[in-house]
Amino acid sequence: MTKKLLFLFPFLFAFIIVSINHTFDYYNVRSVTGGMVTQTVIIDPGHGGRDPGAVHENIHEKEIVLDISLRVRDNLEKRGITANMTRDIDTDLVSEEMKGSTRQQSSLLERLDISSSSEGEVLVSVHTNSSEDERFFGTQTYFKEGDSQGKLLAECIQAELKKVRMSSREAIPGSFYLLDHSDKPAVIVEVGFVSNEEDRRLLAQEKFRILLSEAIANGIEQYITAR
């Protein structure tokens, strides 16, 4: 009897080890595939085409924000987060016949339409800032007053951006057409002031734009984890 039990012991031990490993695998697979499947965001590079956005010397908002947004998309995709773009080329998404303020309004409506019909859970619109006071500098992230998810997303992104370009600016509520009319949590990320000389110098550098895009992607990933 005793000999029989001793004989069984190695098999029992092996069974316990296999069971423990299987349990760990189960949780690992759940967390990894859960992240891969469910996380999609919409990235909106502001302006484009006939609409250059804010322009100062050699810096054109539409080009800076498209470059950064494409890098955010690529960075997120490495983390298993899908990024759908409202534009990935130099266009404002509006037909050529439209003019003036009607054109700008149509461009925003087009972006909202893409966002609304896309699978993305949140909308991240990327812009540069501009001010008559050339001393203003640094990043700024806005959300719609009362949008708690937008606020959390804006706080996550702004906290990361502040590490790249030191500033006392916090995520704040702002009234923008895009934020006011979005049917999903939305933020506007201003990556710097084109009216500020130092911000212009930094935004012209590829390595700085890479740092900004990493920071935005970090913020989005943190939001997904924290929400």
Q: Which residues bind Zn ion (CB under 5 A)?
A: 46, 53, 127
DSSP structure class, residue 50? T
Task: Compute the least distance from the CB of residue 23 to Zn ion, in Å.
Answer: 50
Task: Compute the least distance from the CB of residue 125 to Zn ion, in Å.
Answer: 8
Task: Compute the least distance from the CB of residue 161 to Zn ion, in Å.
Answer: 16
Nearer to Zn ion, 84 or 130 (CB): 130
Q: Which residue is nearest to Zn ion (CB)?
A: 127
Q: Report the DSSP pairing between strands 172-173 and 140-143.
A: parallel
Nearer to Zn ion, 53 or 150 (CB): 53
Task: Compute the least distance from the CB of residue 46 to Zn ion, in Å.
Answer: 4
Nearer to Zn ion, 53 or 120 (CB): 53
CA distance 158 to 165: 10
Nearer to Zn ion, 45 or 224 (CB): 45
